[in-house]
Amino acid sequence: MSHSQATDKMMVELRDLNKWYGEFHVLKNINLEVKQGEKIVICGPSGSGKSTMIRCINHLEEHQKGDIIVNGIPLNEDIKNIEAIRKEVGMVFQHFNLFPHLTVLENCVLAPIWVKKMPRKQAEAEAMELLERVKIPDQALKYPGQLSGGQQQRVAIARSLCMNPDVMLFDEPTSALDPEMIKEVLDVMIELATEGMTMLCVTHEMGFAKTVADRVIFMDGGQIVEENEPHEFFNNPQHERTQLFLSQILQH
């Protein structure tokens, strides 16, 4: 069990967040505060709105009601704010979403060069350092299609880290991976957690949740149903739906 690295600084705030897809009320009054250095694990059944919620944080999805504030910047119609927030928020997707026409290194330096206007030399040096941290510096000149799923996901993590984000969002980063590759990705995420990164992870890897999470959040039907620190969450779930969900995923 990790002791919390959370500071007092508020990193992500969701206040009365509501979202609709047409008539369908997909997020209902979500309230969540994430402090700098905190690690949040989000779980819940399929279709409960987990992806939608974290995708609202960097405005991949638009919300209709409520406030989102990232590192003090309110997320509103202002393009400037959206751009500023996206610079501070890294995101890792279930299907990696690497750019297949660019090499691993080019994938990593693209955003620093074009968004942060960093000189190419410096961007490449920093990218190589990060590729070393995710343990694939030797693949830098390959194309994503030539790597295994686990390697691709580690590149995707390095690519996000190259922007030097304050918050990392993970949307089921291991659920598209073969079992033998899950560990190599989780190891990288655990290391990142120990270094003090603020993280919001949608994942059903309960081992990971127990190791790094400060809080586990359970969502169902577009709401946060239960929120607790991992030990309590797993051993003493309050809500009936949480108990059902846990019994289902822990059977495996």
The contact set with ligand ATP (CB under 6 A) reads 21, 24, 26, 44, 46-52
Helix (H) or strand (E) holding 225: strand 223-228
Which pair of tokens denotes residue 70?
Answer: 């990232």
What is the smallest separation between the CB atom of 152 and other proteins, expressed in angstroms?
A: 6
Site string for Mg ion, 51-70 (x = CB under 5 A): x-------------------
Binding pattern for the stretch 23-52 against Mg ion, x by CB under 5 A and - elsewhere = ----------------------------x-
Q: Which partner from the list ligand ATP, Mg ion, other proteins, none does 96 bind, CB cut-off 5 to 8 Å by kind?
A: other proteins
CB 139 within 8 A of CB 118: no
DSSP letter (8 states) at residue 238: -
Q: For residues 118 and 219, which CB has a smaller minimum distance to ligand ATP in the complex?
A: 219
Quote the tokens at residue 248.
């289902």
- Is residue 87 within the footprint of other proteins (CB under 8 A)? yes
When the beta carbons of 42 and 108 are compared against ligand ATP, the nearer one is: 42
Smallest gap, in angstroms, from Cβ of residue 191 to other proteins? 21
Among 73, 110, 190, 246, binds other proteins (CB under 8 A): 110
Using CB under 8 A, which of the segments 138-146, 196-204, 220-228, 236-244 binds other proteins?
A: 138-146
Q: Would you say 6 or 176 has its CB closer to Mg ion?
A: 176
Residue 19's contacts (CB-CB under 8 Å, 6 or more residues apart) are 25, 26, 27, 49, 52, 56, 61, 62, 63, 64, 65
The residue behind tokens 């206040």 is 15
User: What is the closest distance, in whole angstroms, from the C-beta atom of residue 218 to ligand ATP in the complex?
Assistant: 11
Residue nearer to ligand ATP on the CB measure, 58 or 151: 58
Residue 151 has a CB neighbour count (10 Å cut-off) of 21
Least separation in angstroms between CB 95 and other proteins: 6
- What strand order describes the sheet that includes 89-92? 89-92, 167-171, 198-202, 39-43, 215-220, 223-228
Tell me the C-alpha distance between 161 and 165, whole Å: 6
Determine, following the binding rule CB under 8 A, whether residue 60 of this chain makes contact with other proteins: yes
Q: Determine the Cα–Cα distance for residues 20 and 27; give it in Å rounded to an integer.
A: 7
The footprint of Mg ion (CB under 5 A) covers 51
